[in-house]
């Protein structure tokens, strides 16, 4: 059964059900939640999308005006949509040599997002991709380590 069949609009999933659905990615999913809660003091907001490309319940991580991505549960992990402003383009491109080949290629081929920035869709299916993602997130909003928070950026 697909995600949107298991959890139609009338049946919002719990965080436990999301963890169970993402299968072998579940341990990394726990790290994702911990990362956002400890570094940015945020939890995901659940919303339902009727979009034909990715219908169903998704999760958004956001702090103030900074969106860190929309996460779509999949049986392999998550599909993630990440957007960055053109103002951050130079910093994102400088980050490419430190990313995995997969993520560097995704970023190089990022498409225009409504003339305001670039967007990518990628598979969040491994610890390595999560490490790349944390680096990208830190470009959008550097972690506040002055408050004694653990440093997550390599």
75 within a domain of the structure (yes/no): yes
150 within a domain of the structure (yes/no): no
pLDDT digits (tens, 9 = 90+) for 81-99: 999 999 999 999 999 999 9
147 within a domain of the structure (yes/no): no
CA gap 29, 63 in Å, rounded: 19
Instruction: Give pTM, 2 decimals.
Output: 0.87
pLDDT digits (tens, 9 = 90+) for 48-58: 998 877 889 99
23 within a domain of the structure (yes/no): yes
CA gap 134, 113 in Å, rounded: 21
Q: Which domain holds residue 11?
A: 3-140
Question: What CATH number should be reported for the domain holding residue 25?
Answer: 3.90.1150
Q: Among all chains, which residue has been given the structure tokens 């402003």?
A: 85
What's the domain count of the chain?
A: 1
CA gap 29, 19 in Å, rounded: 7
pLDDT band at 145 (very low <50, low <70, confident <90, very high): low
pLDDT band at 30 (very low <50, low <70, confident <90, very high): very high
């Amino acid at each position: 059964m697909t995600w949107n069949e298991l959890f139609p609009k009338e049946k919002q999933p719990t965080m436990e059900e999301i963890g169970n659905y993402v299968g072998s990615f579940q341990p990394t999913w726990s790290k994702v939640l911990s990362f956002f809660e400890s570094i940015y003091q945020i939890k995901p907001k659940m919303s339902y999308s009727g979009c034909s490309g990715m219908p169903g319940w998704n999760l958004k991580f956001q702090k103030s005006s900074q969106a860190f991505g929309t996460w779509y549960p999949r049986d392999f992990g998550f599909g993630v949509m990440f957007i960055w402003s053109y103002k951050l383009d130079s910093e994102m491109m400088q980050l490419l040599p430190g990313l995995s080949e997969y993520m560097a290629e995704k970023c190089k081929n990022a498409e225009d997002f409504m003339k305001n920035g670039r967007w990518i869709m990628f598979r969040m299916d491994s610890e390595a991709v999560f490490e790349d993602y944390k680096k990208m997130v830190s470009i959008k909003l550097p972690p506040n380590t002055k408050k004694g928070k653990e440093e997550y950026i390599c």
